[in-house]
Amino acid sequence: KEGANPDKVRGQLTEYGLVPEEYGGDTMFVEVSARQNLNIDELLEAVLLTADAALDMRANPNKDARGIAIEANLDKGRGSVATVLVQSGTLHVGDTIVAGTAHGRVRAMFDDDGSALTEAGPSRPVQVLGLSNVPRAGDTFFVTADERTARQIAEKREAADRNAALAKRRKRISLEDFDQAVADGKIDTLNLILKGDVSGAVEALEDALLKIDVGEGVQLRVIHRGVGAITQNDVNLATVDSAVIIGFNVKPAERVAELADREGVDMRFYSVIYAAIDDIEAALKGMLKPEYEEVQLGTAEVREVFRSSKFGNIAGSIVRSGIIRRNTKARISRDGKIIGDNLTVETLKRFKDDATEVRTDFECGIGLGSFNDITEGDIIETFEMREKPRV
């Protein structure tokens, strides 16, 4: 990656007790790039050396499976899809499992090539279908005797998580600062709802936000987090608790966006975690003074994709709302997830003629420059940045 500084990373990791061998420590470092096929063999060799030297890699395959959820997401066609690593025992299709607060019978399993499996032994990563909801990255899973037992365990875990979240939200006042808290009045609080495309990203964002040093008199609360597109329930919760909704690589459906606009709910969208952290930290410290705001111009649904040697892929679309204008900014989403942002409408056509704008219910051809990952059913949203009056 351009601008990467491996030596700086090595130095930062020493703060966590990971001292490189070249600094006199015992931690192996390998500089890799999958894109450039750099040092992949060296990485595999380092993994094997570390395993041989320090780890007991034995596991009993002849018992009920246990392991950990590596990643999970909500798929429109398949429901909850969890990538799990079997650490001991053997996982079979038909087993009933509990993973965090999720439970269910394993309907299907797939390996990293997408091939269906009937069982998976120790050290095998697999995709599992059939869970009731999306587990969190890092949740442990295990096989239970039946679905009733699995459901009871999951419900108890969910109740415990809910109670822990409620306890975390309460402002703890000590005797030393009680008088000052009373004198200052109500403590300022920023409530957040976090939604993302995968659970790992949502957890990483939450962890980073909760580490922000907001100082005295200010409190940050994550009142809800989840995986998938922003829903009406999210907006309703934000309305009740005066929360800001943070979308990480996800967007709301059009009717949900309209509801949020009516209710005055602030929704912010990011594709880089640190951009979200910077904005929220600035808001908490009273430094965020936006001068511009994003204004939606129009949306279009892709009906067909045409290949052009001159312009790249052209999205044959119908304008669903507002106006599509040439040279405006655009983003494209698929099943509620953003797949391209900060793009430009470089080409706009009505049949074979160039157009400067196309209005609602008219068909048009939209070209997004070098961005070619377009398919039928995608939603193209155009917007512009307008100066926001300061109050």
* CA gap 368, 300 in Å, rounded: 13
Helix axes of 232-241 and 254-263: crossing angle, nearest 10 degrees: 10
Condensed to tens digits (0 to 9), the pLDDT of residues 339-356 reads 999 999 999 999 888 889
pLDDT cut 70: percent of the chain above it: 87
- How confident is residue 390, by pLDDT bands cut at 50, 70 and 90? very low
**Torsion of the alpha carbons at 93, 99, 103 and 106, rounded to the nearest 10:** -10
What region does 242 belong to: left with phi over 0, alpha with psi -120 to 50, or beta? left
pLDDT of amino acid 175: 23
- Among 3-7, 206-210, 329-333, the minimum mean pLDDT is found in 3-7
Condensed to tens digits (0 to 9), the pLDDT of residues 83-127 reads 999 999 999 999 999 999 999 999 999 998 999 999 999 999 999
Q: Which residue has the tokens 């808290």?
A: 181
Q: Which of 192-196, 238-242, 287-291 has the largest mean confidence?
A: 192-196
Distance of CA 191 to the CA centre of its chain: 19
Q: Greatest CA separation found in the chain?
A: 75
Q: Is the pLDDT of residue 25 over 90?
A: no
pLDDT of amino acid 180: 43
Q: Give the residue-averaged pLDDT of 174-203.
A: 63
Condensed to tens digits (0 to 9), the pLDDT of residues 242-296 reads 788 999 999 888 889 888 888 878 888 998 888 888 888 777 665 444 567 889 9
Instruction: Report the DSSP beta bridge partners of residue 224.
Output: 193
Condensed to tens digits (0 to 9), the pLDDT of residues 166-179 reads 655 544 333 233 23
Residue 358 lies in a domain: yes
What region does 369 belong to: left with phi over 0, alpha with psi -120 to 50, or beta? left
3-state secondary structure of 280: helix
Residue 76, domain extent: 66-159
Residue 173 lies in a domain: no
Residues 308 and 371 in one domain: yes
| DSSP single-letter state for residue 292 | E
Residues 299 and 369 in one domain: yes
pLDDT of amino acid 216: 59
Residues 216 and 126 in one domain: no
Number of domains into which the chain is organized? 4
For 76-213, where are the alpha helices, taking DSSP H only? 147-169, 175-184, 199-210
pLDDT of amino acid 327: 92
Domain CATH code at residue 331: 2.40.30.10
| DSSP single-letter state for residue 26 | S
Q: Is the pLDDT of residue 315 over 90?
A: yes
- How confident is residue 160, by pLDDT bands cut at 50, 70 and 90? confident
Q: Which of 241, 262, 289 is the last residue of a domain?
A: 289
Residue 34 lies in a domain: yes
Residues 284 and 253 in one domain: yes
pLDDT of amino acid 1: 65
Q: Which amino acid is at 78?
A: R
pLDDT of amino acid 388: 66
Residues 274 and 302 in one domain: no
Residue 170 lies in a domain: no
Residue 20 lies in a domain: yes
Residues 72 and 20 in one domain: no
Q: Is the pLDDT of residue 389 over 70?
A: no
- How confident is residue 359, by pLDDT bands cut at 50, 70 and 90? very high
Q: Is the pLDDT of residue 190 over 90?
A: no
Q: Is the pLDDT of residue 205 over 60?
A: yes
Between residues 358 and 52, the one the model is more confident about:
358
pLDDT of amino acid 178: 27
Domain CATH code at residue 254: 3.40.50.10050
Residue 77 lies in a domain: yes
